[in-house]
């Protein structure tokens, strides 16, 4: 069995191959050529933590993956990162263990960044330049870096967070990485001016008002991945012209759209894979408001893990 640490996978990570694999996996998910048991969720309420278990098999792939991701949100108080986890890889032909990848959540962070950037590229208008990042954690950085790499056209990033200090820190990190980035404090003003809005918070109620959002804007909502979480005003879901998710089963159950779905106010929800595949249309004019909710799906984990193993196996000449 292969045992890889975070440092191994960072060293051999192939961004472009992972992007390609993740794009394909959304198509496989929407085509239902995947086996996906429901996401397992274990809450640890007394220590403000939770664990998500995402497993699945993309048919015809020789491996399948079980991803265990923990989020213990008080950890930073004790000098530990809040995210952790690992990918466990098995043979889909014999059921034997193939690899344990102790990525400490790094692959989840990366595949979430790539998935979000792919969705944003597919749905934002091509002329978009002004990007607002709401939240200043790891996904602020991951989304911005991946989007900057994949979007055709140069982008200006603005970062807003409840803590100005954290927004400053995040924008400095982005700038250090070569991005045009600045922290902002006037959220309403910035929402009104932004053509792309990316929310990456664990919020449980809407972060901005629907009527602040300008025509032509695109919103990528990353944060809501558990029952109770919500980042976007329900009114915006009614106002949006195109509403998209990664996997309807998840998004309507425990993602951003859970509340609107339960309230019965949600119009048609498209799946990202069907848009990538050309089976349904996404944005059809620069005036439309588009919104995508990403809960994160097991095929992303399989895709990025497959890329890692491929890179590693080539490197080690397996």
By the criterion CB under 8 A, which residues form the site for a copy of itself?
1, 3, 35, 37-44, 47, 49, 51, 53, 55-57, 64, 66, 68, 70-72, 75, 78, 80, 82-86, 88, 90, 92-97, 100, 102
Q: Which among 238, 243, 241 has a CA at the least distance from the CA of 221?
A: 243
Q: Which is nearer to a copy of itself, 220 or 250 (CB)?
A: 250
- CA-wise closest residue to 268 among 232, 175, 251: 251
Alpha-carbon span 173 to 136, nearest angstrom: 10
Contact of 110 with 271, CB cutoff 8 Å = no
d(CA 34, CA 92): 12
State the minimum distance, in angstroms, from the CB of residue 311 to a copy of itself: 22
CB of 73 to a copy of itself, least distance (A): 9
Q: Which is nearer to a copy of itself, 84 or 290 (CB)?
A: 84
**Residue number, 98 or 142, with CB nearest to a copy of itself:** 98
Per-position DSSP letters for 3-31, written without gaps between them: EEEHHHHHHH--HHHHHHHHHHHHHHHHH
State the nearest-atom distance from the C-beta of 88 to a copy of itself, in Å.
6
Q: Which residues contact 7 (CB under 8 A, 6 or more apart)?
A: none
| Nearer Cβ to a copy of itself (65/304) | 65
Nearer residue to a copy of itself within complex by CB, 96 or 316: 96
Rounded least distance, CB 161 to a copy of itself, Å: 23
Distances (CA, A) of 61 to 93, 269, 277, 296, 300: 9, 28, 19, 20, 13
Smallest gap from residue 74 Cβ to a copy of itself (A): 9
What is the residue-wise DSSP string for 47-86?
GTEEEEEEEEEETT-SEEEEEEEEEETTGGGGT--SEEEE
Separation CA 111–CA 146 (nearest Å) = 10
Q: SS3 helix, strand, coil % of the chain, rounded to 5?
A: 40, 25, 35
In which residue are the tokens 């032909």 written? 93
Residue 35: both structure tokens together = 């086996």
For the CB of residue 70, give the shortest distance to a copy of itself in the complex, in Å.
3
Between 87 and 244, CB nearer to a copy of itself? 87
Q: Which is nearer to a copy of itself, 35 or 284 (CB)?
A: 35
Tell me the closest approach of the beta carbon of residue 139 to a copy of itself, in angstroms: 17
Nearest to a copy of itself of 80, 267 (CB atom): 80
Closest separation between CB of residue 62 and a copy of itself, Å?
11
The Cα–Cα gap between 118 and 244 comes to: 13
């Amino acid at each position: 069995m292969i045992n890889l640490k975070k440092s191994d996978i960072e060293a051999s990570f192939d961004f472009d191959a992972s992007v390609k694999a993740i794009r394909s996996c959304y198509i496989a998910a929407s085509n239902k050529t995947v086996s996906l048991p429901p996401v397992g969720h274990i809450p640890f309420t007394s220590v403000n933590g939770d664990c998500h278990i995402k497993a699945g098999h993309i048919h015809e792939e020789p491996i399948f993956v079980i991803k265990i991701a923990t989020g213990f949100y008080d950890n930073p108080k004790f000098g530990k990162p809040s995210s952790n986890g690992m990918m466990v890889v098995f043979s889909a032909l014999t059921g034997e263990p193939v690899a344990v990848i102790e990525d400490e959540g790094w692959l989840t962070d990366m595949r979430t960044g790539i998935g979000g950037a792919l969705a944003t590229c597919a749905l934002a208008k091509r002329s978009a330049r002004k990007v607002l990042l709401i939240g200043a954690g790891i996904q602020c950085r991951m989304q911005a870096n991946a989007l900057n790499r994949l979007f055709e056209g140069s982008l200006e990033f603005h970062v807003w967070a409840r803590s100005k200090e954290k927004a400053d820190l995040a924008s400095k990190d982005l700038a250090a990485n070569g991005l045009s980035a600045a922290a902002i404090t006037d959220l309403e003003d910035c929402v009104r001016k932004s053509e792309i809005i990316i929310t990456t918070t664990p919020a449980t109620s809407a972060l901005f008002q629907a009527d602040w959002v300008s025509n032509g804007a695109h919103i990528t909502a990353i944060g809501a991945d558990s029952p109770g979480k919500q980042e976007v005003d329900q009114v915006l879901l009614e106002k949006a012209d195109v509403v998209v998710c990664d996997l309807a089963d998840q998004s309507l159950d425990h993602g951003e759209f859970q509340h609107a779905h339960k309230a019965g106010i949600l119009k048609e929800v498209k799946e990202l894979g069907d848009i990538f595949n050309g089976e349904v249309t996404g944005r059809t004019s620069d005036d439309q408001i588009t919104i995508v909710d990403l809960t994160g799906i097991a095929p992303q984990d399989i895709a990025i893990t497959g890329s890692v193993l491929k890179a590693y196996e080539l490197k080690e000449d397996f």
